[in-house]
Structure 1
Amino acid sequence: MIDFSVDVSSLVLPDGHVISGSIENEDDVRGALGRVSEGFGFRGFMVLAIPDSGSHSLTAQALMTTWPMDFLRRYDSARLIDGSPVIQRLRRSTIPFTYDAHQLARGRVDGKGEAAICVFEQANMPRGVYLPVHDAAGHRAAVAFGGDRSAVSGDELQELNLWAGLLYSRLSEVRTRDRRGPGSLSRREIECLRWAAAGKTTVEMARIMALSEYTVNHYLNRATRKLDSVNRVQTVAKAIRAGLIN
C-alpha cells in the first residue's frame, strides 16, 4: 500500500526507479509525468482541462501531453470530443477509471465508434486510464495515461491516482507562481526562441530539437506569457533586448 502523506521523491515506480530531485518548473513536471508513464508501461500522458459543453477540440484542452500530435489532429478532425463517453464521465465524476477504446466505442450514440477505435489504434493507445484531479483553487482537470499494455490492476490505478494528484498539484503551483511574475525562461524556452529568431518554423524546430510540434508551441507560448508579449515576434524581440538570446 502507498502512504498518501509522502512526497514524490520517496515513491518507487514499478520499474524500480524513483523521481529524484526537486520539481521546480513545468519541465520538471513534464519529465516526472513522462517517467511515471514509462514506469507503468504506457506510451504517453496527457494533462487535460475538463472541457465544457461548448468545446469541440481536445487539442485546445491539452495543458501538457506526450500523446502524438497526429492523434490529436485526427481526434479533432473527426470531432470525437462530441459525444465522448470519457468526457461525459469526467464532467460528472471525480473517480479514476480505466479505458478501452473498443468498449468505449460501444457507448457512443453518435455513430463514431469505429472512427474512435481507429484513432486510438493508429496511435497504439487502445487502453489506459483517466485520473480526475483538482488544484487548491478547485479547478478540475484529468491526467490520462495511454498505451497498448494490458489493463491496469486496482493497485496500479491507486498508485497512478496518487502520482497524478501530486504532480498536477505541483503543476498548478508552478503555473500560479509564473503568472505572478515573469520569472526566468527555462533552457528549452530560450532554445525555442533562438530557433524562432533564426527564422525556423515550428515543424523545423520540432525536428531539430527532437520534440513534438505541440511541445515546441507549448514552450513558445509559455515564453510569450512570461515576457508579457502578444505574439511570437514580440516575444523574440523582447528576449533579444533583455539579452536572453542573441
Structure 2
Amino acid sequence: MLRHHFAHFDHVLAAIERFELTRTPSTLVDCIRAAAAVYGYEMFVIAAAPSAARSEFDQLVLLRHWPEDWFRRYVHERLLPHDPIAAQTREQYGAFAWRDVSWSSDTLQTTRLMEIASRDYGMRQGYCVPIYGIYGYEGAVSFAGREVDGAPSANAAMELLALYAMNQLMRLRSEEKAAQAVLSAREREVLTWAAIGKTAWDTGCILSISTDTVNKHMASAMRKLKAYTKTQAVAESLRRGEIQL
C-alpha cells in the first residue's frame, strides 16, 4: 500500500515539473491531459469565478479540453445556472467527486444536463477542485471521464494536480498580460477606482495624490485605450484584462 502511495506522489511530482516547463496554454493542456489520464480522466475545464465583468460560461473558461460540440451547446443553451457541479464549487471549500453532489430530480433542466453529459459525451464520473484565495472563491478545476480511479489516494493526487495546473495557468496568463499591457500601474489604479464609482476627488484621497494628477492619469489612460469617455476607458480596460473587479 505504501508503495502505491509513493507511485502517486512520484507521478504528481513529475507532472508538476512538466507543468512548470510549459510556456503556452496549449502545451499546458497537453500536460494536464497526460497527468489526469493516469487516473482515467479524459476531459477537464478550468474556470474563473463569475464577476461583474464576466458572467457567461465562455467568458469564465480559462482553459479546457472538452468536446467542442458540448461546449457550444453548454454556452448556447446557457446551462451554467442549471449545473449542480458548478453550483457546488461555489458552496464547498474542499475538493469533491461528482457522485457526492445531489440535486432535486424535479429540476428537469439539471437532470437533463447531467444525463446528456454522461450519455452523449462520456462525462460519467468526475472530480472537482474549487480554488480559494484570500478574497474567497476564485475558480475551479473540474475533471471528467467514463471510468476513473476514485480511491482516496488518487483523489488526493488529482487535487494536487489541479492546484498546480491552476497556478501555472495563472503564471502564464500573468506573463501574457504583462507583455500586452499598455497602462501604467497608476493608470490601472485610477481606472479601477473609477470602475467602482469613485470620483477623481475620492480617488485622489485614496491614493494620496491630487485631483489634478488623477485626471492626468485618466486622460493618459484614455489616450492609450483610444477611449473618448471615462466609461469607455473603464469598459475597454476590463475587456483587455488591464483591470479586474
C-alpha offsets along residues 1-57 of structure 1, whole Å, 9 cap, x if unaligned? 8xxxxxxxx8415xx988647233323322221112222211111111123599774
SS at match of 2:44: strand
CA contact (8 A) 1:84 1:108 kept: no
Inter-partner Cα distance in structure 1 for 2:15 and 2:54: 38
SS at match of 2:97: strand
Structure 1: 4+ residue segments shifted above 6 A? 53-56, 135-139
Question: Residue in 2 aligned with 1:154?
Answer: 152
Aligned CA distance change for structure 1 residues 150 and 37 (closer, same or farther; 3 Å): closer
Question: Residue in 2 aligned with 1:110?
Answer: 107
Instruction: Using the TM superposition, give the Cα deviation of residue 85 of structure 1 relative to its aligned residue in structure 2, in angstroms.
Output: 2.1
Question: Residue in 1 aligned with 2:120?
Answer: 122
Unaligned 5+ residue runs, structure 1? 2-9, 184-227, 231-246
Inter-partner Cα distance in structure 1 for 2:88 and 2:51: 12
Question: Residue in 1 aligned with 2:80?
Answer: 81
What is the CA RMSD across the aligned residues, in angstroms?
3.6
Inter-partner Cα distance in structure 1 for 2:225 and 2:31: 29
Question: Residue in 2 aligned with 1:210?
Answer: none
SS at match of 1:12: helix
Question: Residue in 1 aligned with 2:130?
Answer: 132
Aligned CA distance change for structure 1 residues 18 and 66 (closer, same or farther; 3 Å): same
CA contact (8 A) 1:97 1:131 kept: yes
Q: How does 1:31-180 map to 2 (within 5 A)?
A: 31-51=30-50, 57-100=56-99, 106-107=103-104, 110-116=107-113, 117-134=115-132, 140-150=138-148, 152-180=150-178
The one-letter amino acid paired with 2:156 is: Q
Aligned CA distance change for structure 1 residues 85 and 59 (closer, same or farther; 3 Å): same
TM-score (norm: length of structure 2): 0.59
The one-letter amino acid paired with 1:50 is: A
Q: Among the aligned pairs, what percent are the same residue? A: 16
Q: Which has the higher helix share?
A: 2
Inter-partner Cα distance in structure 1 for 2:55 and 2:135: 25
